Structure 1
Amino acid sequence: MNKYYIILLIVGITSLFASFLPILLKKFKISFTIPLLFLGAVLYLLDTPLPWPDPTWPLDFALHFTELVVVISLMVAGLKIGLNYSWKEWRNPLRLLAIMMPLYIVIVFLISYYFLDLDGPVALLLAAILAPTDPALASEIQLNKKQTVASKNVGVQYNLTAEAGLNDGMAFPFVFLAILWSKNETMGFDQWAEWIGFYVIYKVAVGVLVGMILGYSYSFVTHKLSDVNERRIHPAFVALSLTLISYGLAEILNSYGFLSVFFAGLFANYKKHRENKTTESDPSLYFISNTEKFLIIFWMVFFGGSIVAGILEFNTTNSVILSVVLVFLLRPLLGFVSLLKTNLSKRKKLAISFFGIRGVGSVFYLTYGIKHGDFEDVNNLYSIVALVILISIFLHGLTAKRVMEKLEDATNERE
């Protein structure tokens, strides 16, 4: 039997199944990721001809597939937020980046080094890859439509979307620090100077600048077109094109493509924002959002297969304890502390802190670090990261919709 046609059949059945999941799950109020996780486990047990892990993920496949999912998710986040938020409103998610993320990385590094007995570079890599809130798997609790100045969300959904959009790029310098450390027995002045000058300042600045210029350029060109010509553009392809151009150009310039994509999304409607012409309707956003969901469907299937394949088998008692502590305690605690001085309600602070979902981005950073660094005995990293993601999928997948509904009900009651 031709395996190619079997794969086509599986892809078709899986995507059709995912299309009907919103109807099936409406009553249960759980994330669509959980049934897909079980579907992946079943497909693995049936020995379907898909590129399954054995038991860890094939390095290049996992690297490039997760890379694509993350960059598309970042464009979706950028387009939804746009330039509709003031500096005062940006300060809340920036507090998560400036306070919560560095503290999280330091604490996870110390726990990994002393409690798990990992060597320095491996412990730092683990801390860096587990730091970002995932822009893909957290999409269900992020902004669900394009924002306008008149009707923008400034609560839980906005803060989680903005955090996820920025922190993937901001975690990368620490991944590179771990890579540099893995290639040098000690970190001397030259290594630190290279890290600060190139991996922090240059890569962040150029990544942001490339995204801003490309997003602004697109908005400027379309602004100059007549209404008739603008309607002739195929809007469904715009966001995907901007994603690939901004990411590709930023990476060619050795900067952070993740930041470039997010900022290209923010600035894509610059001219319309200045003239107050932005609306919630955006065919480009609709198309790329569905592309994002399509890719997440199959990432979840592969992840479900990896669990059955034995990716968790390298965990120890200590690493299980660490994984539970990270999801249930550390992120919620540090997130809440970082938001203490904000004007958000206590309920919103707790929700933002609790929903630090880990997922696709962590797998990308893990595979990127392993491919470019000289790390020893990385199988335990695969197991820890997979366990953290698995806990996050079930914990947040079972609670997100219920919590978001209660927050919306509370807001409506006050209004």
Structure 2
Amino acid sequence: MQQVQLFGFLMLGFIILSVVWLPVLLRKSLLSLPILAVIFGYLFFLSMPAGHFFATYRVAAEVLLEFVLVIAVMGAGLKIDRPFSIRAWSSTWRMLGLGMPLSIAAIAACGMGLLNIPPAMALFVGGILAPTDPVLASNVQVGPPGVGEEGEVRFALTSEAGANDGLAYPFVTLGLLLLSGGTTTPGWLEHWLLVDVVWKIVAAVGMGFVVGRGITAVNQHIPEPFRLSQSNNGLASVGVALLVYGLTEAAHCYGFVAVFTAACTIRNTTRNLGYTRDIHSSAEQIEQLVMVLVLSLFGGAIAEGLIFPVSLGEIGFALIVLFLVRPFAMLLSFVGSGRPMPVRLAAGFFGIRGLGSLYYTIYAINQGHLDDPDRLWRTTGIIVLMSVVIYGISADPVMNFLDKLRERHEARD
């Protein structure tokens, strides 16, 4: 036991230092922090097998993933400078309202065809693999609040990643409902549409807006010496995120949606840009710390057999999901939008899967309705691993190229 504790302290110390130091060292490198986290976890647990973390400590793993997603969604919302409107956010609505359902349907069809899984399980797999990741996609997102590093590609990918972890929940619920035999209840489909899709999303948006607007209103109207922004403590973002998430989940609605809405509301209603940057910075630091911890554990799980023995069919399925399903779904969702082709192609290419897919996988396994959880772990694990490696290497070069194209276009205008 003492040896395990010693290795635990060593691992945590390495992780904390890596979060602080490695981004500086990797500025001109093709490697990314997530890639190194997975490699570190793989090598660390090869030398000290400790049991598959995601299988042995399933409840702890679910809570850890849930926590990092809450903080990541908060961070994504806080750094979006663009004021909300239907027209200004049109790319987001297209990606969420058209692209994500198309992706779920296509992934389900590929699952039935390539993996020979039943329709209910295929729909569930589509639900957990459709959302993109707000944690691993930081290199393709907008910059900190007020910096102005936006552009349509970065804005669309940031807003999509911030919202779709929560909006995937109804489809995950539908898949679990089908797997558990819940469709024998009369009126189940109407209940799912009206309650799980419409009511829970609308209520979550309302909850996030009310709490976010309420916090900024109170902060702006109380005497200045007593304002939250006078604390100079950026941890307020974590408190707000957990408060909103807890209240919304207690009301049986979608906490991730509410947190993202609250973050966007705070960003667009606060008058203190400096404090917004502070709270975003704190959220980002905690997000990166927990992200490296989770990906190190993910690398350890790979070392202990998470994705083995993987079949050619599962590898082919992963490649099709990443490089065919997502790009084509996004191209279709942008039909008639007037967006230039580089925007459409980049939005489709950067379909980064990560901690959200891992969270929904372990959430479903903990619900106890899956016959073959090992196969689901392999399928999810190989897609997340490919995302970490492929997008970790390609994100900076591709986004730098697109940023230069945008700057030249703006200069001509």
TM-score category by the smaller chain?
over 0.9
The CA distance in 1 between the partners of 2:116 and 2:267, in whole Å, is: 49
1:383-394 matched pairs, under 5 angstroms: 383-394=378-389
Q: CA deviation at 1:373?
A: 4.8
The 8 Å contact of residues 134 and 357 in structure 1, kept in 2 or not, is answered as yes
Give the 5 Å matches for 1:1-400.
Answer: 1-47=2-48, 52-53=51-52, 56=55, 58-81=57-80, 84-147=83-146, 151=148, 153-184=150-181, 186=183, 189-230=186-227, 231-272=229-270, 278=273, 282-400=277-395
One-letter amino acid matched to 2:217: F
Pick which of 358-367 and 203-212 moved more: 203-212
The verdict on how the C-alpha distance between 1:57 and 1:75 changes in structure 2, with shifts beyond 3 A counting, is farther
Of 398-407 and 310-319, deviating more is: 310-319
CA–CA distance in structure 2, aligned partners of residues 23 and 133 of structure 1 = 26
Deviation at 1:370, TM superposition (A): 2.0
- 8 Å CA contact retained: 2:103, 2:130: yes
Distance of 1:239 and 1:54 partners within structure 2: 29
Cα distance, 1:216–1:152 mapped onto 2, change above 3 Å: farther
Supply the distance in 1 between the matched residues of 2:206 and 2:81 (Cα, whole angstroms). 16
TM-score by length of 1: 0.92
Hey, what's the Cα distance between the residues in 1 that align with 2:140 and 2:355? 16
Amino acid at match of 2:306: I
Larger mean CA deviation between 93-102 and 192-201 belongs to: 192-201
CA contact (8 A) 1:204 1:255 kept: yes
Which range moved further: 159-168 or 335-344? 335-344
Tell me the number of residue pairs that the alignment of Structure 1 and Structure 2 aligns: 408
Q: Distance in 2 between matches of 1:227 and 1:272?
A: 14
Q: SS state of the match for residue 88, structure 1?
A: coil
TM-score by length of 2: 0.93
Give the aligned residue type for 1:86: S
C-alpha contact 2:179 2:370 (8 A) present in aligned 1: yes
Q: Give the residue type in structure 1 aligned to 2:48.
A: D
Deviation of 1:87 after TM superposition, in Å, equals 2.3
2:39 alignment partner AA: F
Secondary structure at the aligned position of 2:88 is classed as helix
SS at match of 2:248: helix
> Following TM superposition, by how much is the alpha carbon of 1:300 offset from its aligned partner in structure 2, in angstroms?
1.3
Q: Deviations over 1:216-273 (max 9, x none)?
A: 1101100112333335335312111111100001111100001011111111245436
Secondary structure, in 3 states, of the residue corresponding to 2:157? Answer: helix
- Cα distance, 1:107 vs structure 2: 1.4
Distance 2:261 2:82 in 1: 10
Counterpart Cα distance in 2 of 1:391 and 1:271: 39
How far 1:105 moved relative to its partner? 0.8
Q: Does the 8 Å CA contact 1:335/1:352 hold for their aligned counterparts?
A: yes
Give the whole-Å Cα distance in 2 for the aligned partners of 1:93 and 1:42. 39
Give the partner amino acid of 1:237: L
Partners of 2:54 and 2:363 lie apart in 1 by 18
Provide the rounded CA distance (Å) in 2 between the counterparts of 1:285 and 1:123. Answer: 37
1:412 maps to a residue whose letter is: E
Q: SS of the residue aligned with 1:268? A: helix
Deviation, 1:282, is 1.8
Which structure 1 segments of 5+ residues have no match? Answer: none
CA distance in 2, matches of 1:391, 1:129: 16
Structure 2 SS opposite 1:81: coil
Q: Which moved more, 1:70-79 or 1:306-315?
A: 306-315
Task: Say if 2:15 and 2:289, in contact at 8 Å, map to a contact too.
Answer: no
Is contact 1:84–1:147 with CA below 8 Å preserved after alignment? Answer: no
Q: Over aligned residue pairs, what C-alpha RMSD do you find?
A: 2.1
| Deviates further, 279-288 or 52-61 | 52-61
Segment drifting more, 303-312 vs 15-24: 15-24
Partners of 2:53 and 2:61 within 8 A in 1: no
- Measure the CA separation in 1 of the matches of 2:202 and 2:155: 24
Q: Secondary structure at the match of 1:411?
A: helix
Structure 1 window deviating more from structure 2 (402-411 vs 166-175): it is 402-411
**Secondary structure in 1 matching 2:87:** helix
The answer to whether the 8 Å contact 1:78/1:265 transfers is: yes
Deviation at 1:199, TM superposition (A): 1.2
- Greater mean alpha carbon deviation, residues 58-67 or residues 20-29: 20-29
